[in-house]
Amino acid sequence: MNRPLLALGILFVSCGVRAATADDYAFAWPLQTQGDSAAWQVELTPEVYAAIHSEDLRDVEIVNAAGESVPAAQRAAQMGTAATNEVELPLFELPVQSSAGATDDSLHLLIERDAQGRLRRLDTNGSKAAATPGMSDLIADASALQQSIDSLWLSWDETGRDATAQFSISGSDDLQQWRVLNANANVLAMRQNGNSLSRHQIALNGARAKYLRLHRIDNGAALPDLHLRARTLGVANLLQPARVWVDARVQPAPAGEQRTPPSFYYELPAALAGEALKLELASDNSLARVTLRSRAHAGDANAWTARAEFTAFRLRQNDSTTSNDEIAIASNARAQEWRVDPVTPLDAAPTLRVAFRPDRFVFLAQGSGPYRLVAGSARTRRGDYPVDAALAQLRGKLGADWQAPLAELGARVTLQGAAVYTPLPPQVHRDWKTWALWAVLVGAAALIGGMALSLLRKK
């Protein structure tokens, strides 16, 4: 097995390894490493976070087949420049044909593209009917996107008046054959009595299409200065982990924390560094101003920290339901417990989801596999290794763009379990060297005294 790691062994002579490291931890996850590599990276899951004892993740290690810890370090959330997850799409207004029988599939388009295949001009070769400005169908060019589309984000000039609109979204790869991606999507921006409602997001749920068609299906006023951005799915790659959504479980109110109006309490599987949340009210045609707070763990009633404040709503019209968009969180501090404080009472607990980006660890393939990730201990801490220096040398050999491949976590295995979450009792330190020295000194003094007495008797 020819690994560039062999040339880097000198970096870790001073670090050493500790035998039987796995005996110090609560749980282990086998790592599936396909192929041969000098280094790997592994992404933590909520199950691993639930096992971790220390907030700085120091009780996470990688061990080899012999149970010895290998050089590992927590890596930054992103090393290098990852592709953006949000792209503004060029919009083209589709002229309205005068033929009453024209349908999506009967369009005859005159298309002009640039050298990269992007649309430059879009027109029809039929007679055109007068259209209300801003109410014609829109074609968005998404041909430059390499990933699936999670959602669209519509923005417009909201000054001066409220606005609501309903769209049907279709997709196509050739501008001729169209398929429905979202039959009824609502956007709105409204303000009244100091409260505001806004909905700019249209879910496409991972659809793939080179072109998107936005067809207005209501008779409302046009959205002035409309812009469209596509949010692509955050697919995990070697540079950046994907954003993961986790459902929060509803919990009863802790003793002594009952509030008026009643708050709703939630718990995540572990303390996670959330970056966004989704709150959906339980009842149709409901509206509430809410504040979301969180804390790392249960215990201190004063430890709640405000994370977001907004107006949540759920509106139903015919068969269509409109609710608030996802909300960015003010801080990415780790938190397990969440609380929703409504200004006015709610008849049922809303649904809460929190998004986070998992931490990653990079480790060197030292010793023989299979390797395991071990976590959860109040009795040991991971050592410091110069992993970054090793990776820099590896990139010098394998290319500047080289990244350690991802290893996958297998099923959890119990090692010591909950026993290692209790710190070992402090040991009484006995300085045997000091006692031995005193014993030698006392013995020497006694010997000298005996010799002196013997000389006096002879005289």
Residue 307: which residues within 8 A CB-CB, separation 6 or more?
274, 277, 292, 293, 294, 329, 330, 331, 335
Into how many domains does the chain fold?
3
Task: Measure Cα distances from 312 to 95, 252, 277 in Å.
Answer: 37, 22, 12
Which of these, 223, 202, 190, lies nearest to 311 by C-alpha position?
A: 190
Residue 189: which residues within 8 A CB-CB, separation 6 or more?
156, 158, 162, 163, 196, 197, 198, 199, 200
Q: In this structure, are residues 188 and 165 in contact, taking their beta carbons and an 8 Å threshold?
A: yes
Q: Would you give the distance in Å from CA 274 to the centre of its chain?
A: 7
Stretch 17-24: mean pLDDT: 60
CA dihedral 257, 261, 266, 271 (to 10 degrees): -60
**Are 170 and 197 found together in one domain?**
yes
**Are 112 and 206 found together in one domain?**
yes
**Are 69 and 125 found together in one domain?**
no
Q: Concatenate the DSSP letters of all residues of 261-307 into one string.
A: SPPEEEEEEEEEEEEEEEEE-SSTTEEEEEEEEEESSSS-TT--EEE
pLDDT band at 292 (very low <50, low <70, confident <90, very high): very high
**Are 291 and 384 found together in one domain?**
no
The neighbour count for residue 8, using CB atoms within 10 Å, is 21
pLDDT band at 431 (very low <50, low <70, confident <90, very high): low
The reported pLDDT for the residue numbered 76 is 60
CA gap 345, 40 in Å, rounded: 51
Q: Which stretches does DSSP call E strand in 91-143?
A: 91-93, 109-113, 119-124, 138-141
Q: Concatenate the DSSP letters of all residues of 41-71 into one string.
A: EEE--HHHHHH--STT-TTEEEE-TTS-B--
**Are 407 and 336 found together in one domain?**
no
The reported pLDDT for the residue numbered 272 is 93
| Range(s) of the domain holding residue 297 | 244-356
- For the stretch 177-201, pLDDT in tens is 889 999 888 888 888 777 778 889 9
User: Is the residue at 239 inside a domain?
Assistant: no
Q: Lowest-pLDDT range, 44-58, 200-214, 307-321, 328-342? A: 307-321
> Which one of 356, 385, 402 terminates a domain?
356
> Which one of 193, 210, 232 terminates a domain?
232
Stretch 226-246: mean pLDDT: 82
CA gap 22, 43 in Å, rounded: 19
pLDDT band at 46 (very low <50, low <70, confident <90, very high): very high
**Are 91 and 213 found together in one domain?**
yes
CA gap 241, 234 in Å, rounded: 8
Say which CATH number the domain at 260 has.
2.60.120.260
User: Is the residue at 442 inside a domain?
Assistant: no
User: Is the residue at 432 inside a domain?
Assistant: no
User: Is the residue at 331 inside a domain?
Assistant: yes
pLDDT of 144 > 60? The answer is yes
The reported pLDDT for the residue numbered 103 is 47
**Are 65 and 95 found together in one domain?**
no
**Are 113 and 168 found together in one domain?**
yes
**Are 295 and 383 found together in one domain?**
no
pLDDT band at 130 (very low <50, low <70, confident <90, very high): very low
**Are 363 and 341 found together in one domain?**
no
pLDDT band at 135 (very low <50, low <70, confident <90, very high): low
User: Is the residue at 156 inside a domain?
Assistant: yes
Tell me the whole-structure pTM to 2 decimals.
Answer: 0.73
CA gap 246, 451 in Å, rounded: 83
pLDDT of 70 > 60? The answer is yes
Task: Measure Cα distances from 125 to 26, 110, 220, 409 in Å.
Answer: 70, 6, 28, 57
User: Is the residue at 458 inside a domain?
Assistant: no
**Are 225 and 103 found together in one domain?**
yes
Give the DSSP letter of residue 128.
B
Please identify which residue in the block is written with the tokens 């303390």. Answer: 271
Q: In this structure, are residues 271 and 321 in contact, taking their beta carbons and an 8 Å threshold?
A: no
**Are 317 and 333 found together in one domain?**
yes
> Which one of 302, 327, 356 terminates a domain?
356
- For the stretch 2-14, pLDDT in tens is 444 444 443 443 3
User: Is the residue at 457 inside a domain?
Assistant: no
User: Is the residue at 1 inside a domain?
Assistant: no
Stretch 104-121: mean pLDDT: 55
pLDDT of 362 > 90? The answer is yes
pLDDT band at 396 (very low <50, low <70, confident <90, very high): confident
The reported pLDDT for the residue numbered 29 is 96
